[in-house]
Chains A and B, each alone.
With several copies, the nearest count.
Chain A
């Protein structure tokens, strides 16, 4: 076990994956000499050389397009998009190519690429350094979508993502890059994709969150605890494939649910959670399903703290669920 920050855990996972598999390689803007603008790839160029840690021109289309070609040939590229906000020039390659390659070829051409991207607000990044548009990718059949919230998960899930056979969009909560620290197993702590984690058990209300929303959700749960409300906190970890069973089981137990994410509300991931529960946990529901999310505006700069869900908003939604009906 080593105490690491989340970004250090990402870095370790990349080191481990590249050491254990010569087919793994990295490409992206500023990932080599500069070690990544968040230092996630620090030291990798030195150890693995410029054929495996590739500083690319400023083209996300090129980064993902080339990664797709590399994967077709048999390598395991890990592409970095500097900020999730800058992934859209690669959107066509991701949704039209990467997501559909195995399918459209009748299984002849699997195409395993991991696309890493820091996402989310809380760093005063304004409209273009704060976005959280995981729903676009979750709605795209063929992609897996993973969001860690702790250093241990960041390492374990990234290792699993790199070893998976399917394309994975791996979203790193940049707000937690340095603020989240924790013990990380040294060996090979692969954390399986597709399994949610109960971070805190509870019986009255299920708070369903992921990524950078886990800390404020836990804070809300603690506050609720002092008020005699027992909140269960679920960290989804993998959005696709979603661990539906764990979500449904939690709400069957508690009867109340609040979905939390920082992305805009309308057609956000919380809508899928609500829809899932309104279908499969309907008879257990004791209260309307709450959503605590970013607002349906672009991500603001000066007022980001009002935009972002925080513990008081999450607790308020849980209280509303408790008193409903």
Chain B
């Protein structure tokens, strides 16, 4: 039985289909996500935030997977998953506060934009090193199982991350220990300037699961319903004790790798244009239009609302107080060590008076 066949062997259930009554809500979230992306790139260009890593082109994969999870599941993100946090209940304001690194930022201004952490949503702290979240998701899954919690963990990562040490270690541990983990690879065609085909000669990324003895499936990442179904089934397998699944969601990164990147150096505009024909936002809109759940006027309103909501959050973030000037000494350890207390006192003496105001 190949990996593909194993996955197909999980019997389908009605609950595997994306709930019809949430499609409009999903579209709203998708529009919010896309609008936020556009706005954040502009904010970065204007020097109002320091950095941004866009997710445009990956919204269906992000939303489809996020909707398929249960609240108690744990999410181990990379850096393009802010939509997942929103679906899980993180507020738009807290997301925007992280981008602005202001006093509303739950990560206390310590990380670059896009490196979120939302404890209440079981959305684990993101880091920059590629792939490190993968074995962590496996460990958390093993821990949950040992506590008899009927949950799954999900690790998000890109095509580039499949080359990382941590992918190999995490996948192998998951196979050996049959961890209830969903490996969700967003293959967006590029790892900065390296195209997928130069990343690995594996015919598909999903096929790499064979090497670890569990199923891998390819899914059209522009199809929110297809992604939802794939993740639901992987989740059922996981919770039923049948072990992990690797899902390769095939998407395309429309924008630059990040605001520091100039994609014209390594790919043709025409490639982007043809990928845009499969734009997941447009696709869901078309589906909703033909199902008469949406009309153009309603659509325009959704976009307008999204922009308004974002504007509100941005305005609030810009009005928010900065993080406290000595707050960067906190949380290194559970409590300040004597050495840090001394360093902090020294720094306090140096911090210019104006910065010390709250």
- Residues of A at under 8 Å CB distance from B? 25, 29-30, 32-35, 37, 51-52, 54-59, 61-62, 65-75, 77, 85-86, 88-89, 92-93, 96-97, 100-110, 124-129, 141-142, 144, 164-166, 194, 240-242, 244-245, 265-266, 295-298, 300-303, 306-307, 312-313, 316
Contacts of B134 in A (CB 8 A): 65
B66-102 vs A, CB cutoff 8 Å, 1 = contact: the mask equals 0000000010100000000000000000000000010
B194 touches A30 (CB 8 A): yes
B115 touches A303 (CB 8 A): no
* Nearest-Cβ distance from residue A168 to partner chain B, whole angstroms: 11
A25 touches B136 (CB 8 A): no
Residue of B50, B129, B192, B327 with most chain A CB atoms under a 10 A cut-off: B129
Residue of B110, B160, B200, B340 with most chain A CB atoms under a 10 A cut-off: B110
Among B163, B164, B266, contact of A33 (Cβ-Cβ < 8 Å): B266
Contacts of A245 in B (CB 8 A): 338
* Nearest-Cβ distance from residue B39 to partner chain A, whole angstroms: 20
In the A-B complex, the 7 residue pairs with the closest CB atoms: A69-B139, A65-B135, A302-B109, A66-B139, A128-B128, A62-B169, A34-B193
A30 touches B192 (CB 8 A): yes
Among B50, B163, B350, contact of A59 (Cβ-Cβ < 8 Å): B163
Q: Kindly specify which of B9-17, B19-27, B141-149, B283-291 makes contact with the partner chain.
A: B141-149
A102 touches B331 (CB 8 A): yes
Among A77, A92, A295, contact of B340 (Cβ-Cβ < 8 Å): A295
A105 touches B119 (CB 8 A): yes
B330 touches A107 (CB 8 A): yes
CA distance A35 to B261 in the complex (A): 12
Residue of A25, A57, A242 with most chain B CB atoms under a 10 A cut-off: A57
A30 touches B193 (CB 8 A): yes
Contacts of A142 in B (CB 8 A): 332-333
Q: Kindly specify which of B170-178, B226-234, B237-245, B307-315 makes contact with the partner chain.
A: B170-178
B142 touches A70 (CB 8 A): yes
CA distance A99 to B133 in the complex (A): 14
B328 touches A303 (CB 8 A): yes
Chain B interface bracket (under 10, 10 to 19, 20 to 34, 35 or more): 35 or more
A57 touches B173 (CB 8 A): yes
Contacts of B136 in A (CB 8 A): 65-66, 68-69, 72, 97
Closest to B194 in A: A55
A62 touches B163 (CB 8 A): yes
Residue of A125, A242, A296 with most chain B CB atoms under a 10 A cut-off: A296
CA distance A102 to B124 in the complex (A): 11
Q: Does B274 contact A (CB under 8 A)?
A: no
* Nearest-Cβ distance from residue A304 to partner chain B, whole angstroms: 9
A127 touches B140 (CB 8 A): no
CA distance A142 to B340 in the complex (A): 11
Closest to A110 in B: B334
Provide a sorted-by-A list of 8 A–B residue pairs whose CB atoms are within 8 angstroms. A30-B192, A34-B265, A58-B160, A62-B138, A69-B138, A108-B118, A194-B337, A301-B101
Closest to A106 in B: B108
Known: A106-B117, A127-B111, A301-B101. A241 touches B338 (CB 8 A): yes
A101 touches B170 (CB 8 A): no
CA distance A141 to B331 in the complex (A): 11
B105-117 vs A, CB cutoff 8 Å, 1 = contact: the mask equals 1111111100101
Q: Does B161 contact A (CB under 8 A)?
A: yes
Contacts of A300 in B (CB 8 A): 109-110, 328
CA distance A34 to B143 in the complex (A): 23
Among A37, A59, A129, A306, contact of B165 (Cβ-Cβ < 8 Å): A59
Known: A58-B163, A104-B110. A75 touches B350 (CB 8 A): no
Known: A69-B141, A126-B115. A302 touches B333 (CB 8 A): no
Among B130, B140, B160, B161, contact of A73 (Cβ-Cβ < 8 Å): B140
* Nearest-Cβ distance from residue B50 to partner chain A, whole angstroms: 5
Q: Does B322 contact A (CB under 8 A)?
A: yes
A125 touches B112 (CB 8 A): yes
A296 touches B339 (CB 8 A): yes
B107 touches A166 (CB 8 A): no
Residue of A85, A93, A96 with most chain B CB atoms under a 10 A cut-off: A93
Q: Does B355 contact A (CB under 8 A)?
A: yes
A93 touches B135 (CB 8 A): yes
Residue of A88, A107, A312 with most chain B CB atoms under a 10 A cut-off: A107
CA distance A84 to B290 in the complex (A): 52
B194 touches A69 (CB 8 A): no
CA distance A100 to B51 in the complex (A): 21
Known: A106-B108, A106-B331, A303-B328. A88 touches B176 (CB 8 A): no
Q: Does B218 contact A (CB under 8 A)?
A: no
A34 touches B164 (CB 8 A): no
CA distance A34 to B340 in the complex (A): 42
Contacts of B340 in A (CB 8 A): 295-297
* Nearest-Cβ distance from residue B148 to partner chain A, whole angstroms: 11
Q: Does B127 contact A (CB under 8 A)?
A: yes
CA distance A89 to B168 in the complex (A): 12
A66 touches B327 (CB 8 A): no
Q: Does B347 contact A (CB under 8 A)?
A: yes
B339-353 vs A, CB cutoff 8 Å, 1 = contact: the mask equals 110011001001100
Known: A66-B136, A105-B117. A301 touches B110 (CB 8 A): yes
* Nearest-Cβ distance from residue B109 to partner chain A, whole angstroms: 3
CA distance A294 to B124 in the complex (A): 27
